[in-house]
Structures are given as C-alpha cells and as structure tokens.
Amino acid sequence: MMKFHLPKEAEEILAILKKAHFQAYIVGGCVRDLLLGRETNDWDFTTDATPEQIIKLFPDSFYDNKFGTVGVPIKQLSSVIYEITTFRSEFGYTDHRHPDKIIWGKTLEEDLQRRDFTINALAYDGKTLTDLYEGQQDLKNQIIRAVGEADTRFKEDALRMMRAVRIATELQFIIEEKTFSAIRNNNNLLTKISNERIRDELIKILASPFPADGIKLLRNGTLLSVILPELEKCFGVEQRSPKRHHMHDVGTHLLKSLELCPSKDPIVRLATLLHDIGKPITVNTTADGIITFYNHEIISASIVRNIAERLHFSKKDRDKLIKLVRFHQFTVDEKQTDSALRRFIRNVGTENLQDMLDLRVGDRLGGGARETSWRLELFKKRLEEVQKQPFTVSDLKVDGHDVMKIYNIGPGPLIGAILDMLFNDVVEGKLKNEREILLKRIKDLKKESKVN
Ligand code: ATP
Ligand code: MG
C-alpha cells in the first residue's frame, strides 16, 4: 500500500472507472512527478475500457481518434489536462515515428512495456504502485534509462532521443550509458522526426533551469549536429586576438552567453544562443593577426531566419529572434544622436528592448566581461531618455511657416502633408533633423512637384 495525495478530480476518474469494473491507473510522467514531489499539469490514465466505454462513463469527454485518447474536461478555466487512454501495445514503426497501427492491449504490462523510460513506466491505481522496470530505483539514482533495449526503442521512435535529453535536462538527471550510446548511434534518425516536434522539445530544454547544460547534452549526444548544424560549426572557431578580450571559441562563447543570460524566456535564450552564429562565415584575419567578423550580425540574422523557418517557429517568435540577433551589436558613445537611438528602438521594437539588454548581458558575461560597463549603462540611460521624449512633427527643425515661404502659398492641407512626409523620413533615418537639410528637402520637393 502506498498513498499519494491526488487531486480530487484524479481520484474521481479512478473511482468512476473502477465502479464500472474496469482497471484504472494513473500512468507515465505524472506518476514520476508525484514521486518526485513535482507539480504536474497533465494527468494520464490508462484502463482496459475501450474508448467507446470511456466516453459513456464521462459524458462531457471528447475523443481524439488519432491517438485513441479520451480527454475529460474538468474545470473550464484550468490548464490542467486529464486524459484517459486504453491500454495499448504498439509495434511496426516503419517510419521511426508512428506505429503502423495502434493495437489495444489487454494488460497494464503491455502498456508499460511500450513506454519510453523506466521512470516514465510507472502506474498507480490509488493504492499500489506498479513498477516493472525498476523505475523507482532509477528515479532515486536520477537516471534516464530506456525501457527494454535502447537501440530498438530509438529505432522505433527517434523522438525518444530528444525526450531523453529534454527530461534529463528538466530533472537534472544522467542518461544511463547504454541509453546514451544508443542515442549517439542513432542520431541521424532524428531527420525522420517532424521539425515541429523537435522545436517543442528544444523549447522545453531552453525553458528549463539549466538550458546550457541541455544544449551541451544535445551536443555530446551528437544530436546538435542534426538539429542545429549551424551551431555545431561554431565550435572550434577561434576568436582570440592580441589585445582583444574574447577568450572562448565562438561555440563555447554562445553556450556561456546562454548560461549567463538573465532572461527566462526560451525565445530570448535561443536568440542569445544563436546571436553570433554567422561568425564562422564572416571570420577573417588581418595582416597583423587580428581576427575579425565584419557584419556577422547581418549573416547571423539571416541564418537565424533559416533556422526559425525550418523549425516552424510562429511568425511572432521568428520576428523576435531575427530582430534580437540582427541588432545585438548596436552600441552607444557620447556622440550617438537621439535619432540613431530612435531608429534602433524602432528596429528592435520597444516590447523587445529589455530582452535585447538581457541578450547583451549574456553576451558580455559569456565573453568574460563584467556584467555591465559605462557604455552599457549609458546605453540604458539614453534609451530611457529618448523614450521619455516622444518625437512628433512639432519637434522637426522646420515648421509650417518654412513650407509656406518656400512654396509661396498660404495655409492649407498641403503644408501638413509635407511636414508629415519630412517627419516620416526623419523617423526612418533617411533625413537628419537638421534645419538646413530639411529646408533643402522642401525646396527639392517643390522642384519635383513642378516637374510632375
Ligand atoms: P512532461 O513532464 O513533459 O509531461 P511526460 O513524460 O509526462 O513529460 P508526456 O508527453 O506527457 O511526457 O507523455 C506521457 C507519458 O507517455 C510518458 O511519461 C511516457 O510514459 C509516454 N510517452 C510519451 N511519449 C512517448 C514516446 N515517444 N515513446 C514512448 N512512450 C512515450
Ligand atoms: Mg506528461
């Protein structure tokens, strides 16, 4: 007898199934989390009842026939999910991902046998824990071990390799040796897995408490070269130069930047991990032995665009990744004009400024520099100042009187239209907000309008 505290809803689901004389278990990751004292948001149940029988017992439930899973809605506004799946035993994975057909199993044993890792193959019926693969032992020793023969299990479903790294990272567990070498031997099978599923696991790795450890584990497991070959290429690209501060190669610098980036947002963390990814392409050594990476932020942004498209990130995430990488090199000195700062803010987007500063802190710390510098502090101060003074048409160094004088006309809508045009050009950085320049532009506009 083993008693865990379950949410009332979970107790109810078990009770309803049992009352109808079916077997009923909580199973998988939620039992693992229960034993670890971790919070769970998805509760999975397994039973010998068929989907039709389950639906009859839970009238509001919905059936997802692709996975043979019945969802039980509990609280309308709750993010907690309760799902019941009939015992399954699957075989014949010709595409390394989907079982050719779902076969309903007759027993719990069959169902546990198809699960990925020993710590995920535990079942609990409200009283007794079923542990056929020494999952509790592995949980105690903090080990991820495949159920059965690792090599076969990864050949059946290559996504399990990403899951192993992801779960190891989330729980800070070790991947058992045979399981790990099976990952290294089958890394190429990951190409059979949809990019969306790889992206989802990657995001979970990045959202975990130690994302850089997860990326290192992907690398050691040789999965990184399959999912992010552009990043793998950064390792060994030296950037040490006489008198320059960089002490790590590009790949190591990127890992360190990720590790030290203060943001918890997986998208900001990914941008930080990829911010110098164009360096291997732009690397050059000058006559006096200085290593340079001119325009690497432009190349990096274009590589990041490819990666974000390949992994099917949403348009919003994609745009953010690209902007953070494209403009990460922007710095200020005393001479920087307000309009240059405004252009930077417009390029990055006010909503991304804090994230950009977080990337910069990661970049600095990851390069062995102090967290901040007079320059970064000045940058923050200027950004704040510039945002406090919104720039409007009335801030232009010319006004309606200038336009009327040059055009030799009286007040009217044309005056406002011309000022708006100048304002847009200034905001976009095409024109400087300087009186002589703007007056000349008004004269040119007048000439152009005569020609037309
Ligand atoms: P999480 O904490 O992210 O929910 P989880 O282990 O619960 O982790 P789920 O995707 O919720 O992962 O899957 C629930 C359970 O289903 C797993 O614990 C495992 O038993 C089983 N499972 C999921 N994916 C696979 C797979 N690809 N191969 C075998 N078993 C799997
Ligand atoms: Mg789960």
Out of 116, 149, 155, give the residue to mutate to test ligand 1, the one with the largest number of ligand atoms within 8 Å of its CB. 116
pLDDT-above-70 percentage for the chain? 95
Atom 24 of ligand 1 has which residue's CA nearest to it?
116
98/171: higher pLDDT:
171
Which of residues 126, 141, 156 is at a domain's end?
141
Which residues form the domain of 99? 8-141
Condensed to tens digits (0 to 9), the pLDDT of residues 241-255 reads 665 666 789 999 999
Same domain, 135 and 160: no
Mean pLDDT computed over every residue of the chain: 91
In this structure, what DSSP letter does residue 76 have?
A: T
Same domain, 302 and 344: yes
159 C-beta closer than 6 A to ligand 1: yes
One-letter amino acid at 423 equals F
156 C-beta closer than 6 A to ligand 1: no
- Domains identified in the chain, total number: 4
Measure 82 CA to ligand 1 centroid, in angstroms: 14
320 C-beta closer than 6 A to ligand 1: no
**pLDDT in the model for residue 75:** 65
Condensed to tens digits (0 to 9), the pLDDT of residues 367-418 reads 888 888 888 898 899 998 888 776 778 888 999 999 999 999 999 999 999 9
Closest CA to 304 of 342, 245, 254, 354: 254
Same domain, 223 and 244: no
Q: Is residue 3 part of a domain?
A: no
Q: Is the pLDDT of residue 362 over 60?
A: yes
Same domain, 308 and 423: no
pTM: 0.85
**Which ligand is in closest contact with the Cα of 32?**
1
Give one DSSP letter per residue of 102-163, joined into a string: EEE-SSHHHHHHTSSBGGG-EEE-SS-EEESS-HHHHHHHTEE-BSS-HHHHHHH-THHHHH
Distance from C-alpha of 402 to C-alpha of 317, rounded to nearest angstrom: 45
Query: Which residues are near ligand 2, the ion (C-beta closer than 5 Å)?
Result: 29, 42
Q: Is the pLDDT of residue 299 over 80?
A: yes
Contact 255, 216 (CB under 8 A): yes
C-alpha distances in Å from residue 304, one per residue of 158, 207, 234, 310, 365: 25, 19, 14, 10, 22
pLDDT confidence bin for 100, thresholds 50/70/90: low
135 C-beta closer than 6 A to ligand 1: no
pLDDT, average across residues 192-213: 97
Count CA atoms within 13 Å of residue 123 on its CB side. 21
Which of residues 196, 227, 258 is at a domain's end?
227
**pLDDT in the model for residue 246:** 64
Q: Is the pLDDT of residue 18 over 80?
A: yes
Measure 42 CA to ligand 2 centroid, in angstroms: 5
Atom 9 of ligand 1 has which residue's CA nearest to it?
29
CATH number at residue 95: 3.30.460.10
Q: Is the pLDDT of residue 452 over 60?
A: no
116 C-beta closer than 6 A to ligand 1: yes
**pLDDT in the model for residue 4:** 87
Cβ-count burial of 123 within 10 angstroms (0-12 exposed, 13-18 middle, 19+ buried)? buried
Nearest atom within ligand 1 for CA of residue 160: 27
**pLDDT in the model for residue 98:** 72
pLDDT, average across residues 96-119: 86
